[in-house]
Amino acid sequence: MAVSESNREAPPRSGGDNRAAQLLDGVRDTLPLLVGIVPFGMIYGVLAVKAGIPPAAAQAMSAILFAGSSQFMIVQLVGAGTPWLVVVATAFIVNLRHALYSASLAPHLRRLPAAWKGLLAYVLVDEAYAIGITRYEHGGAPGGRHYYLLAAGLAVWVCWQTSTALGIFLGAQIPASWSLDFTLALTFIALVVPALRNRPAALAAAAAGLTAVAAHELPYKFGLILAALAGIGVGLWSERQWRKPG
Amino acid sequence: MAQTWLIIVLAGLLTYAVRLSFIALHGRWQPPALFQRALRYVPPAVLSAIILPEMLLLDGQMLFSPLNPRLLAGIIAILVAWRSRSTLLTILTGMLALYALQALLG
């Protein structure tokens, strides 16, 4: 306690010192989240190889997309022989939620040079955002917070690439009877269920889920895009209903 | 295989554009309020649209049966996620439930 008090009183530390502290803090605060990323990355690697994606492409997807849930979707769709345009559109829809992160961080990053903005956008995944926004909105050491966000993003990045590589390496040795593909649904349940604490979000989820089931026989997973639109529509509609008096 | 690379590059560019969008445009362009509100429903809508069919699918067929292990394991996972808010615990319980149910009902 005494240490942090004296820190707050002290004038901002000079550049280099502060940067190192922010980088270290960022990595340290991200470490607990990496526990969840390792199995996710490994399973992605395993499933990619099983879907017939060459190891180099599977690893490149982790480096270029750097977006776990959409990578799972792509693997599933490519494995089912889906046309490329539909796969790209589906991945886009799945990753559209990152626009929320971008919008929420934008005011904090407005003074940074363009190169920094470009770099931070690349590492803006769910976990890095969750860690980074906490430091911006709920304090922590001031000054050079973009180094903190960068460190969180890079920690996730290194972890994602390594666990993916491990999964690709193990891929062929894991039997299909392990039902590892079910971890995709489980991971998404863990992501979405705790966020359903208001009525419009819960209704949006229900509408989308039911539409997806009803439309599952549409070719090329068009049902997914239809379901996403239905969910968004119901969410907006029920939000309006909710505000009506009486 | 060329198609796989095409997918990776295009999906990668689009994903990056989404992440950069508001950061780059801040102060220059404000998207319509309706669009910003609609964005809030993207995660629950998209993720549920993936989850539900995964839970009901058995050997590539929809199976609306209380004896479907994926459906039951999924429901258990939903309860665990609601109570614990822990990703790791949800995945672990869900997989263990699936294995147990497959052994029981298989």
Cα Rg of chain B (Å, integer): 19
The residues, any chain, with a CB within 8 Å of residue A190's CB and separated by 6 or more, are: B77, B81, B86, B87, B90, B91
Q: Which residue of B has its CA nearest to A225?
A: B46
The residues, any chain, with a CB within 8 Å of residue A232's CB and separated by 6 or more, are: A204, A208, B38, B41, B42, B45
- A21-47 burial: b if 16+ Cβ within 10 Å, else e: bbbebbbebbeebbebbebbbbbbbbb
Q: Which residue of B has its CA nearest to A229?
A: B45
The whole model's pTM is what? 0.80
What does A122-155 look like in DSSP terms, one character per residue?
Answer: HT--HHHHHHHHHHHHS-SS-S-HHHHHHHHHHH
Distance between CA atoms of residues B74 and A182, nearest Å: 9
- Give me the tens of pLDDT residue by residue for chain A, a chain 246 residues long: 333 433 443 444 445 568 899 999 999 988 888 877 888 898 899 989 988 999 999 999 999 999 988 998 899 889 888 889 989 988 998 898 899 899 989 999 999 999 999 999 999 998 899 888 888 887 766 778 999 999 999 999 999 999 999 999 988 787 777 787 788 788 889 878 988 888 999 999 999 999 999 988 887 668 888 999 999 999 999 988 876 554
Query: What would the two tokens of residue B90 be?
Result: 């949800």
The answer to whether the Cβ–Cβ distance between B14 and A88 falls below 8 Å is yes
Alpha-carbon A124 to chain mean position: 8
Interface test with B, best of A101, A193, A196 (most B CBs within 10 A): A193
Q: Are A228 and B45 in contact (CB under 8 A)?
A: yes
Name chain B contacts of A195, Cβ cutoff 8 Å.
43-44
Q: Which residue of A has its CA nearest to B51?
A: A185
pLDDT at A218: 80
pLDDT at A11: 43
Q: What is the mean pLDDT of residues B51-70?
A: 79
pLDDT at A246: 44
Please, what is the end-to-end C-alpha distance for chain B in angstroms? 37
Question: Which ipTM was obtained for this model?
Answer: 0.85
Out of B14, B49, B78, the one facing A224 most closely (by C-beta) is: B49
Name chain A contacts of B16, Cβ cutoff 8 Å.
121-122
Distance between CA atoms of residues A215 and A85, nearest Å: 19
Q: Which residue of B has its CA nearest to A204?
A: B45
Name chain A contacts of B90, Cβ cutoff 8 Å.
186-187, 189-190, 193
The answer to whether the Cβ–Cβ distance between B23 and A208 falls below 8 Å is no
Among residues A60, A81, A62, the alpha carbon closest in space to that of A71 is found at A62
Query: What would the two tokens of residue A118 be?
Result: 């470009």
